[in-house]
Structure 1
Amino acid sequence: MILMNLQLFAHKKGVGSSRNGRDSESKRLGVKSADGQFVLAGNILVRQRGTKIHPGNNVGRGSDDTLFAKIDGIVKFERLGRDKKKASVYPVDVEEVVVAE
């Protein structure tokens, strides 16, 4: 009696999926209004994580550290001491803005 020990091998390589290939959606952080730009009250000046730029005159800070204008005016980015920055909004006459544009 002849016994055959037959073993079949895979003819296709088993393909595993990579554990990479995921990333979170970008949060679009950064400066949204430039220095010297006219902004309306409520306009967002900076979207940031932490207080990279601190709120100055007439600027509010949201719960996610977003800086926004409290009044209509011109944006100014200034130094706060030696190593910090602040964003301020200074009031301006409407006629001056119209003439400048």
Structure 2
Amino acid sequence: MAHKKGAGSTRNGRDSNAQRRGVKVYGGQEVVAGNILVRQVGSTIVAGKNVGMGRDFTLFALIDGVVQYGWKSNTKKHVSVVPAGEAPAAAAAE
């Protein structure tokens, strides 16, 4: 039997915290300007109208309104924020 623990034992024992990425607000939900909509790696979902993109590709609302998801040219998904007054007509179209 070995008298020492082995070289690996002192190198183990650490784990990183989860990044908590993903969609934070879904379609049809109301948001306030500044609310985070999506946390992502790269531009998997692109910013539509009234949505800004942070330097880490986080999408956030620029105005108060209702969130709407859709497809942009059949390849990319996009998220937009529609002002609250226009939302019922936009939601009925989906």
Structure 1 segments, 4+ long, off by >4 Å, are none
Structure 2 unaligned runs (5+)? 89-94
* Aligned residue in 2 for 1:67: 59
Structure 1 unaligned runs (5+)? 1-10, 97-101
Over the residues paired in the alignment, what is the CA RMSD in angstroms?
A: 1.9
1:32 shift after superposition: 0.5
1:13 shift after superposition: 3.8
Cα distance in 2, alignment partners of residues 18 and 80 from structure 1: 50
* Aligned residue in 2 for 1:15: 5
* % identical equivalent positions: 52
TM-score by length of 2: 0.79
TM-score by length of 1: 0.74
For the pair 1:49 / 2:47, whether they are aligned, the reply is no
Amino acid at match of 1:68: F
Distance 1:86-1:12 versus aligned 2 partners, 3 A rule:
closer
Cα distance in 1, alignment partners of residues 75 and 3 from structure 2: 58
Higher gyration radius (CA): 1
Cα distance in 2, alignment partners of residues 61 and 87 from structure 1: 11
